Structure 1
Amino acid sequence: MTWMIAALAAYVLLQLAIALWASRRIAGDVDYLVAGRRLGMFAVGISVFATWFGGETVMGASAIIASEGIAGARAEPFGYAICLVIAALAVAGALRAKGYITLADFFRDRFGGRAEIAAACVSIPTSVIWAAAQLLALAALLATVAGLPVGTTLMAVTGLVIVYTLLGGLLASVVTDILQGSIVLVGLVILLFALIDHAGGPAQAIASIRPEQLILIAPGESWLERLDAFAIPILGSIVAQELISRFLGSKTAKIAVRGGLLAGGLYLAVGFFPLAFGLIGAGAGFDASAGDLFLPNLAAELLPTALFVVFAGALFSAVLSTVDSALLAVSALTTENLYSRVRTSAGPREKLVAARVLTVVAGACAYLVATRGETIYGLVELASSLGSAGLLVSLMIGLHTKFGDEWSALAALAGGLITIWLGGWVFEIPGSFLFSILAAGGAYVLAALISRALKSQAPA
């Protein structure tokens, strides 16, 4: 066990070395937050894929599928793959062509300053929750390798993530994605073969899957709840700053689109691995009640020690890159859309310092959320649905039409938030996310029509 910890420590040192290398190429906030806009198609595609294929997919989805079947994690792999394709085709190129740094920049440019601030304030909690989910994944993985309590490892990985993000910014995250993504993929293939062999071969592995595991609809679930469960990852994640920052870091708008499509294809292909681990692993006798430790426990038992160390290290790196992206998202939105409005004279160097300070604050907030989070997958679902309806409606209408103004965006943001709060948390109405999108859309259109009518009645 001692040398396993040493090997994982070597992975950590490698991550920090990459971050240190990247830090020497950071001169201002643009370098830190969007990698100086110098990412090629391959870098964008691999990075977007790796960012989405994080702890909630590899570990969270495997765990919930093992305990609840495919009804528990219906977003994998189709939901998020569809999300990436839609984002690439409908959002990536148009946003990159404008040279923005954050999604809230679009709201400022299209709707005005108040909409910019509101969009940033809605987006920031989402990224904090997303980061918390990844911290839980890292802590669970480290707890399995080191044999330590998850609470202890959670504190340790939070400190590591903050230092790593503080140094390297988005560039270090992208480099890590490219290096470790291939290792994770090889590890998943080896682990799947080991699991099938443990089950007695392909035929026995398939036979071990119980019929109830393959039911798409959970017991007592309505068609509206099922549709809502798919809509959250497909629609709610399109407006995630973690995703958009990769598009904005690309060299050109065309590269942003092509990179997003590449990421969607990769996610669709590789996303079947966690599905197989959950279904076959539970049928093969692995403890489905282990929660987020299900996959690490499975890998530790099936893989030779040396391979498990490599797999665990690569998975650790992949999840580290995802949480790094979430912290950078908080830092970008806070620095570019809140701090810069207070310090209008701030230059690139000052904003770089502010961004790094706010990265530390974001890490601390994510840690507090993680200590209160129940599961990785549950936190991710919360992040994808919280406030995204108003952002989505305003982005799609505002980006592709001239219909609506500042009050339209503000109304959509407020309508989406109020509806998801009342429907999802207060009254627990089925389909609350879909209703929040409808409410946001209705509020946007109504505010636009009222604003147009008032302007037409105003004296010339």
Structure 2
Amino acid sequence: MAVNWLGLLSIGVFYVLILATGIWASKKSKHEEKKCSGNRSEVAMVGGRNLNIWVSIFTMTATWVGGGYVLGNAEVIYDPTKGLVWATAPIAFPINMILGGLFFVKPIRSKTYVTLADPFQEKYGNVFGAILFIPALIGDILWVACILSALGGTVSVIMDLSSAIAVTVSAVVAVVYTLLGGLYSVAYTDVIQLTFIVLGLWVCVPFILTSTYSANFTVAAVTKLHQEPWIGKLELKDVGRWVDELLLLGIGGLCYQAFYQRVLSTATDAQAKLTCYVGGVLCLTLAIPSLVIGAVAASTNWNETTFGSPSPYEQGKAGMILPIALHYLCPFFVSLIGIGALAAAVMSSADSALLSASSQLARNVFKNIIWKDASEKAILVVVKLSVVLCGVIGAGLAMLTSSVHLLMIVSGDVLYSMLTPQVMCTFFLPQLVNLYGACTGFVLGILLRLLVGQPEIGLPDVLPLPWDEMQEDGSRHRLFPFRTAIMLLTTATIILVSQLGEWISKKRLLRSTSDADMKRDTHYMEPIQRHAEESEKLNEE
């Protein structure tokens, strides 16, 4: 297989541009660190809390419109067993942003929080707060794997280059510029990357639509031509599963640290909310090119193309249908523009997830538990080591599966099932919950999710669910909205056990479960309490 050297050169130029932008942004980060010498690690994590509003909007949008989003949308609409009605991400992501702006900006910005784990550690103590971070870490690493897998498959299709090499090189570039400048490098490179995504994909759409190999894709939406209509079917029995996936992405996305890093990096609550609302609109708009390409691919007679027979779906390559369509339905130079857009989409999300996981590891595990008197320099070292470690693990996982959509769903699943109940209770029901309830709910959520299983990734389904349909191969087709059921059951358990524990403590059978009596780390709490007192004084004045 001959390497496409011209394509390789074009992608190399793109990577150099991104890396140069990251290096430039790192100088701005160093300047901010000098101004905030006492909180250098916070500059790396939340950009000194003074990020330009336009940069903030770009980085928020680019984080969500990643490789998983772009390739996953095309995969779902092309897959004859799914179709457009199952493309829940373009609906869920704007919902995610709007809900975030309406309800989550104020709680996370009310104190000097830096990560999502901060409010957990404030309420439940450092150790259990850090334990709650584990699902977030898993979700971030799976997200990195999802988007690196997207790029690996893309490059292997268009450039005749090993996907393992593409994943490795992309991971290295993302790790390097994230190491150099933290959030500043991530945010400013996101501006370049989002521009590539918008221009690159929209440039490809006219060529895809005018391809001589494709039937009228509007006719193919409701009429069977080369495969089932790409509009898809949503039967009554499948409504529960559809709602489950929609809520998973729409609400589970509010548990990603990457979201809160951008919310916390702005100067005011109003700017943070504007970032969310505009980002939601852009997420919906930027779904259109990938959906169109997926629809055209579903309308194409692949036997007439140089791809030949069997079709991409029959070869198990539905996850790579977007780059396949760019390669076989567009002129060569147009496909190069498309690959640049996809590379941009991948890296814009990979760097965000890497910084997200490393920030919580450095602050909430290393600083608050392992070495409470750690210097700012030591914390920054741990941030950088964590970026490298998470990049290596994510790249390794990216080589294990070809379904981008599956990784995207599993990543959100981990957070939705296990972390959403904790976020909701801590932010909105703090007077009703305590450590006993939170611990019980966390264990129950993990146990139920493991028992339900995920056969697609090798996790057996031990716990039978209602409304399951047995397939010919012996597998179960799940119709029950089990993720939402686990989330609601876990939330109810946290509240009930907390209240039961409070009642028992009043009978002097247990140690008091009130927040005042919980074992706290005063070294961690003092800055937050001091900030709250200062804010109250300013409001009074």
TM-score range, shorter chain: over 0.9
Distance in 2 between residues matched to 1:146 and 1:301, nearest whole Å:
12
After superposition, give the CA deviation of every residue in 1:123-162 in whole Å (9 maximum; x if it has no partner): 1111111110011012122223431122332233233332
Q: Are the aligned partners of 2:150 and 2:404 in contact in 1 as well (CA < 8 Å)? A: yes
Query: Conserved in 2, the CA contact under 8 Å of 1:104 and 1:120?
Result: yes
Query: 1:28-107 residue pairs with structure 2 within 5 A?
Result: 28-68=40-80, 69-70=82-83, 73-107=86-120
> Aligned partners of 2:440, 2:253: CA distance in 1, in Å?
20
Q: Distance in 2 between matches of 1:179 and 1:385?
A: 30
Deviations along 1:216-244, one digit per CA (max 9) or x if unpaired, are 427x9533222212221112111111222
Query: Is 1:199–1:205's contact at 8 Å kept on the other side of the alignment?
Result: no
Name the structure 1 match of 2:439. Answer: 410
Moved more, 295-304 or 119-128: 295-304
Helix, strand or coil for the counterpart of 2:189?
Answer: helix
The correspondence of residues 53-452 of structure 1 with structure 2, limited to 5 A, is 53-68=65-80, 69-70=82-83, 73-198=86-211, 204-211=216-223, 212-217=229-234, 222-286=238-302, 287-289=311-313, 290-340=317-367, 341-401=369-429, 402-425=431-454, 426=461, 427=463, 429=465, 430-452=480-502
Q: Report the Cα distance in structure 1 between the residues aligned to 2:330 and 2:213, rounded to whole angstroms.
A: 16
**Following the alignment from structure 1 to structure 2, what is the Cα–Cα distance between the partners of residues 56 and 437?**
24
Amino acid at match of 1:10: V
Summarize the Cα distance change of 1:99–1:115 in structure 2 as closer, same or farther, 3 Å threshold: same
Instruction: String of CA shifts for 1:315-345, please: whole Å, max 9, x gaps.
Output: 3123112011111111011111111121101
9, 15, 19: which one aligns with 1:16:
19
- Number of residues paired by the alignment? 458
- In structure 2, what is the Cα distance between the partners aligned to 1:58 and 1:236? 19
Deviation, structure 1 residue 214: 1.7
Structure 2 Cα separation of the partners of residues 370 and 441 of structure 1: 32
User: In structure 1, what residue type is equivalent to 2:199?
Assistant: V
Contact persistence 1:144–1:297 (CA under 8 A): yes
SS of residue paired to 1:389: helix
Distance 1:192 1:366 in 2: 31
Structure 1, unmatched stretches of 5+, are none
Q: What is the alpha-carbon root mean square deviation over aligned residues?
A: 2.4
- Check the 8 A contact 1:143/1:149 in 2, yes or no: yes
1:14 Cα deviation (Å)? 1.1
**For 1:90 and 1:139, how far apart are their aligned partners in 2?**
37
Check the 8 A contact 2:46/2:264 in 1, yes or no: yes
CA distance, structure 1, for counterparts of residue 158 and residue 344 of structure 2:
14
Q: Report the counterpart of residue 458 of structure 1 in structure 2.
A: 508
| Alpha-carbon offset, residue 83 of structure 1 | 1.4
Query: Post-superposition shift, 1:99?
Result: 2.4
Q: Which protein shows a greater Rg?
A: 2
Give the whole-Å Cα distance in 2 for the aligned partners of 1:163 and 1:431: 40
Q: Is the 8 A contact 1:102 1:244 kept in 2?
A: yes
Which letter maps to 1:193?
P
State how far apart, in whole Å, the 1-side matches of 2:86 and 2:181 are. Answer: 33
CA distance in structure 2 between the partners assigned to 1:6 and 1:295 by the alignment: 21
Q: State the 1:269 CA deviation.
A: 2.0
Residue 387 of structure 1 deviates from its aligned partner by 4.2
Which TM-score applies when normalising by structure 1?
0.92
Partners in 1 of 2:287 and 2:77 — Cα distance? 13
Q: Equivalents in 2 of 1:89, 1:208: separation in Å?
A: 39
Q: Distance in 1 between matches of 2:6 and 2:249?
A: 39
Counterpart CA distance in 2 for 1:190 and 1:285 is 23
% same residue: 21
| 8 Å Cα contact 1:208/1:284 also seen in 2 | no
Aligned counterparts of 1:265 and 1:314: Cα–Cα separation in 2: 19
CA distance in 2, matches of 1:285, 1:346: 62
Asked whether the equivalents of residues 61 and 73 of structure 1 are also in contact (C-alpha less than 8 Å), the reply is: no
SS at 1:205's partner residue?
A: coil
Query: Structure 1 runs of 4+ off > 6 angstroms?
Result: none
